[in-house]
Amino acid sequence: MNRRAFVRAAMLAPLATTAGCRLSFEQGLYSACRTGIDSVAAPAVEAAWEGLRQELVWDTHAHVFGNGRGKVGIFVGPELDKPFWPGARARREFFMNGGCVGEDDDKVDQRMMRRLTRLVADLPAGARVMLLAFDATYDATGERRPDITGFLVPNDYVRSLAAALPSRFEWAASVHPYRPDAIEELERVKAGGARAIKWLPPAMGIDPSSAKCAPFFDAMKRLDIPLLTHAGDEQAVPGARDHPAANPLHLRHPLDRGVRVIAAHCATLGASADLDRDADPGKAPEALNFDLFSRLMADRRYEGLLFGDLSAVTQSNRLEFLGPLIARKEWHGRLLNGSDYPLPGILPLFSLDRIVGDGFIDPAVVPALRSLRESNALLFDFVLKRNLRFGGQRLPNSAFETRDFFLRAG
């Protein structure tokens, strides 16, 4: 590691401490951002697609991002755009490198999509990626709050990106339930082809248990549009970590109103108040978020309603829950794969050495995965998950063949 790399690695120490990340430098700090699938990776990529109906394979969790200077409607708050603390600056730098967007200028928003378009071109015909919008923060009165909004990716912008390449992209809208026009906007984006609604409650200022959400949930049920919502601790967005809105038990509120819910990351980080033991959050004992999610998955009332998405579950800070995710055959029809792009392109977030050491993959596939990490983050995530094994089990084909979940008739 040269001096510059050492200094930058030192900058990551606050990030690891404040965000609870387990960072790995085994493959270096920054992706080389190559393009194309080389001869080392090609056989593993081909093998990963075997047995799958490629036209059914949708990556259900890919972020649209930028720096907001490209005049496409993206907004980035100062804590993400120009952070003060060294760890926060390092986090932003690595996020941009993970998306291979190059210099931090007024073309970042456009280069982000050019890079992603190159990556999807390496997927077989028929396979698609779902792009996620992200609404602004609203307060309890329904007022939009730019002053506390971390970032905003407008629905119309993401819809336009999907429409520009419909053979490769689908999209999910984001609608804050407190906004005065929430149901009207929900109906509009559904008519415009949105396949789901994306929430990150801690960052957006959403309390899923609030009565303000009930009419919105009823409208989602009527329109049969699923909710893809973060569950468990959030570490990428300032101000969201350890937030009570991330408690998986809050998902009961949309579930009890008949909404199909996808719990992002299967709630594989942190702990929350066990509100089943005491309704007072200040008195309730804490339980792991994954255990609370597991409790909901075991509730027969939520069969056909509650699902988990596999985005980010192979990151180093979530590996303790990877074995149970693979081994629980009763969950196999309720898991949906997403990459959480661009996070698979951020080298320090993943440790292939540890994944091998924990027995999840054959060491023989590691050279291919290392190559894919720097050439195609989407395929790195896909090939890695297709090679996972635990307790004689592997992730089922249905976890990757996600199209029909979103295309079912209302």
Residue 332 has pLDDT above 50, yes or no: yes
Average pLDDT on 219-227 reads 98
Q: What is the pLDDT of residues 351-393, one digit of tens each?
A: 999 999 999 999 999 999 999 999 999 999 999 999 999 999 9
pTM as predicted: 0.92
Q: What is the pLDDT of residue 93?
A: 81
CA distance 276 to 111: 47
Domain that holds residue 325: 3-407
346 alpha carbon, distance to own chain's centre: 14
Examine the pLDDT at 219 and tell me if it is beyond 60.
yes
Q: Please give the tally of structural domains in the chain.
A: 1
Q: Please state, in angstroms and rounded to a whole number, the distance separating the CA atoms of residues 76 and 246.
A: 22
Predicted confidence at residue 240, as pLDDT, reads: 47
CA 402 – CA 58 distance, rounded (Å) = 6
Q: pLDDT tens-digit profile of 73-130?
A: 999 887 666 766 676 677 778 888 899 988 888 898 899 999 999 999 999 999 999 9
Helix axes 42-49, 366-375, angle to 10 degrees: 100
**What is residue 81's predicted lDDT score, i.e. its pLDDT?**
65
Nearest Cα to 353, choosing from 92, 22, 83? 22
- Average pLDDT estimate for 395-403: 98
22 has a pLDDT exceeding 80 = no
The pLDDT of 176-185, averaged and rounded, is 98
Model confidence at 306, pLDDT cuts 50, 70, 90, reads very high
The pLDDT value recorded for residue 325 is 94
In which band, very low, low, confident or very high, does the pLDDT at 350 lie, cut at 50, 70 and 90?
Answer: very high
Length of the chain: 410
Q: Which residues contact 321 (CB under 8 A, 6 or more apart)?
A: 266, 268, 290, 313
Q: Could you tell me which residues are beta bridge partners of residue 306?
A: 261
Q: For the segment 255-303, what is each residue's pLDDT rounded down to a tens digit?
A: 999 999 999 999 999 999 999 999 998 999 999 999 999 999 999 999 9
pLDDT above 50: residue 410: no
| pLDDT score, position 162 | 98
Q: Has residue 225 got a pLDDT over 60? A: yes
pLDDT score recorded for residue 10: 46
At residue 15 the predicted structure's pLDDT band, cuts being 50, 70 and 90, is very low
For residue 240, what are the CA distances in angstroms to 182, 185, 286, 313?
23, 25, 18, 19
pLDDT above 90: residue 17: no
Q: CATH number of the domain that 263 lies in?
A: 3.20.20.140
How high does pLDDT run on average in the chain?
90
Rounded percentage of the chain residues whose pLDDT exceeds 90: 76
Question: Which of residues 177 and 18 earns the better pLDDT score?
Answer: 177
The region that residue 41 occupies, defined by phi over 0 for left and psi between -120 and 50 for alpha, beta otherwise, is alpha
CA atoms of 116 and 132, how far apart (whole Å): 13
Of the pLDDT bands very low, low, confident and very high (cuts 50, 70, 90), residue 238 is low
Q: Has residue 205 got a pLDDT over 50? A: yes
